[in-house]
């Protein structure tokens, strides 16, 4: 497990460096490094206890991962003397994430590469730990996923707040981050939908001009931006006609986003929800993102209740249904049909304050629109999201690096371009466009960490540079 060990050492070394700059959990009485080690130990113990026993292999892995010398007896004593709950464990790990976000801000890392790396590592360690015996316990997997999801959401909220409060002191992290709408227990909730936390203070979000600039600056998507700009112009003129007392014609704002994975559909949907709010089309401007699992129940009658609850939560904003075609592929007796009918009714009942965007693969979305007579008439605007070109993929990669204050050497950039040029040309079935770029970046970041973790005196240049050796070993298939 050298990758886990070296990553842990790298995190320890970063924590020591941050502590020298005044970033540490001072109220705990522990050094930052010791606090992280203790939190990791509690996390692995918490996972291992699901079968009410801690195996010799789990003890060995904990020692190997964390550079410790624990025994089964010492762990059992620790468990007896310390109560480890889901919430207390989350609070402990959340404190680390908050401090890493503080470090990102203090050292000028805009999108939080250190805090992101920490959560990615925690996920990697989790997978290694719970699958070490060749099987993955469902309860362990779900509990760890709920903690990691909550950590990611909290981190995103903090970073979003930092962007809106440009003059706030860099070392101040809000302690009152709300955990509403974030799963906090280890049990599977009734609905596993993905949900964007609604904008609660829209007056402080980006202006219309800023949102339009953000849309314009998205890599590629030229036809998408052209279509959306035309629609936005139409809405602006409609609003002007309304203000001057001219007759109004109905405009359907519901859309189909048709394209392969990773082509920016969700990103654009988030922008559209805010743009519609600024145009006065929506009263709240939040986005609710959901897929089949968040809409369809397991028995007759449950789906309508479940879907109506989601639709009600989206009123005033935008409901984004990913892989919407899965609602219509199960036949006439499938509960997905019940979900479609409930969505159509919600669209009709809330036509003035609800926008629905359905998304998925091009061919399958055509079949979805044909599955119900009401769909084609309501979703008459189809936006096509084409696959990215190699030039656009390398631009996305460079933008991700720039936002994380990372430089990429010229030979690493050339190699990366060639990598995506080949990947685009292979017509790979699981090619995921920008998601591939994100995965590529995360692997490059991990390889960089492995390369520099054991350097005695890590320089700022070491921390800020992606080199050829960091990208030349990457595979995505």
Contact 50, 136 (CB under 8 A): no
Contact 232, 275 (CB under 8 A): yes
Q: 407 or 190: which carries more pLDDT confidence?
A: 407
**Mean pLDDT, residues 53-60 taken together:** 83
**Mean pLDDT, residues 399-420 taken together:** 92
The model's pLDDT over 152-178, given as tens digits with 9 standing for 90+, comes to 878 877 776 655 443 333 333 333 333
Contact 266, 322 (CB under 8 A): yes
Predicted pLDDT at 468: 96
- Rounded distance between C-alpha atoms, residue 397 and residue 421, angstroms: 13
Give the Å distances, CA to CA, from 216 to 175, 211, 222, 237, 271: 35, 9, 9, 20, 11
- Rounded distance between C-alpha atoms, residue 121 and residue 4, angstroms: 8
Nearest to 392, CA basis, from 431, 432, 437, 425: 437
Predicted pLDDT at 229: 92
Predicted pLDDT at 162: 57
For the chain, what is the mean pLDDT?
Answer: 82
Q: Which two tokens stand for residue 24?
A: 């540490």
Predicted pLDDT at 455: 85
**Mean pLDDT, residues 114-121 taken together:** 85
Q: Could you give the count of Cα atoms lying within 13 Å of 144 in the half-sphere of its Cβ?
A: 29
CB atoms within 10 A of CB 90: 21
- As a whole-number percent, the residues of the chain with pLDDT over 70 amount to 84
Predicted pLDDT at 55: 82
The model's pLDDT over 250-277, given as tens digits with 9 standing for 90+, comes to 788 999 999 988 899 999 999 999 999 9
The model's pLDDT over 172-187, given as tens digits with 9 standing for 90+, comes to 333 333 333 333 333 3
pLDDT for 424 beyond 90: no
Backbone angles phi, psi at 381, to 5 degrees: -115, 110
Backbone angles phi, psi at 360, to 5 degrees: 165, -175
Predicted pLDDT at 226: 93
Predicted pLDDT at 254: 95
Name residues whose C-beta falls within 8 Å of residue 211's C-beta, 6 or more positions apart in sequence. Answer: 271, 274, 275, 278
Pairing, β 407-408 against β 465-466: parallel
Residue 201: which pLDDT band, with cuts at 50, 70 and 90?
very low
Alpha helix stretches (DSSP H) within 25-137? 32-48, 56-66, 72-81, 86-106, 113-130
| Lowest mean per-residue pLDDT among 8-12, 128-132, 133-137, 376-380 | 133-137
The model's pLDDT over 455-466, given as tens digits with 9 standing for 90+, comes to 888 888 988 999
Predicted pLDDT at 458: 86
């Amino acid at each position: 497990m050298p990758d886990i060990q070296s990553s842990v050492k790298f995190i320890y070394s970063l924590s020591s460096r941050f502590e020298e700059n005044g970033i540490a959990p001072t109220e705990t009485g522990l050094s930052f490094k010791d606090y992280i080690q203790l939190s990791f130990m509690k996390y692995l113990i918490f996972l291992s206890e699901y079968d009410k026993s801690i195996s010799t292999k789990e003890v060995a892995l904990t020692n190997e991962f964390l550079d410790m010398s624990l025994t089964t007896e010492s762990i059992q004593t620790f468990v007896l003397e310390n109560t480890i709950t889901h919430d207390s464990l989350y609070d402990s790990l959340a404190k680390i994430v908050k401090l890493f976000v503080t470090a990102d801000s203090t050292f000028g890392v805009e999108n939080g590469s250190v805090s992101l790396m920490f959560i990615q590592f925690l996920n990697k360690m989790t997978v290694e730990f719970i699958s070490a015996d060749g099987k993955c316990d469902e309860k362990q997997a779900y509990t760890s996923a709920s903690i990691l999801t909550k950590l990611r959401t909290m981190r995103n909220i903090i970073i979003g707040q930092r962007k809106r409060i440009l003059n706030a002191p860099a070392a101040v992290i809000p302690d009152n981050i709300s955990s509403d709408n974030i799963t906090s227990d280890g049990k599977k909730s009734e609905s596993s939908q993905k949900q964007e936390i609604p904008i609660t203070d829209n007056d402080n979000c980006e202006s219309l001009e800023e949102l339009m600039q953000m849309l314009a600056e998205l890599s590629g998507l030229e036809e998408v931006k052209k279509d959306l700009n035309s629609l936005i112009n139409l809405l602006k003129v409609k609003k002007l006609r309304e203000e001057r007392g001219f007759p109004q014609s109905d405009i359907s704002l519901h859309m189909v986003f048709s394209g392969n994975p990773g082509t920016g559909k969700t990103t654009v949907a988030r922008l559209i929800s805010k743009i519609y709010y600024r145009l006065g089309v929506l009263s709240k401007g939040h986005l609710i993102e959901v897929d089949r699992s968040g809409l369809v129940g397991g028995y007759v009658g449950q789906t309508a209740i479940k879907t109506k609850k989601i639709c009600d939560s989206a009123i005033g904003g935008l409901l984004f249904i990913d892989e919407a075609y899965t609602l219509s592929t199960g036949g006439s007796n499938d509960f997905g049909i019940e979900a479609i009918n409930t969505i159509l009714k919600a669209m009709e009942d809330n036509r003035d304050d609800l926008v629905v965007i359905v998304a998925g693969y091009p061919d399958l979305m055509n079949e979805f629109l044909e599955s119900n007579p009401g769909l084609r008439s309501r979703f008459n605007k189809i936006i096509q999201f084409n696959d990215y070109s190699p030039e656009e993929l390398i631009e996305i990669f460079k933008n991700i690096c720039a936002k994380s204050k990372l430089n990429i050497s010229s030979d690493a950039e050339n190699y990366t371009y060639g990598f995506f040029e080949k990947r685009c040309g292979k017509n790979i079935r699981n090619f995921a466009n920008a998601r591939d770029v994100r995965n590529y970046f995360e692997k490059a970041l991990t390889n960089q960490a492995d390369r520099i973790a054991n350097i005695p005196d890590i320089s700022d240049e070491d921390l800020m540079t992606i080199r050829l050796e960091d990208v030349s070993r990457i595979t995505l298939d």
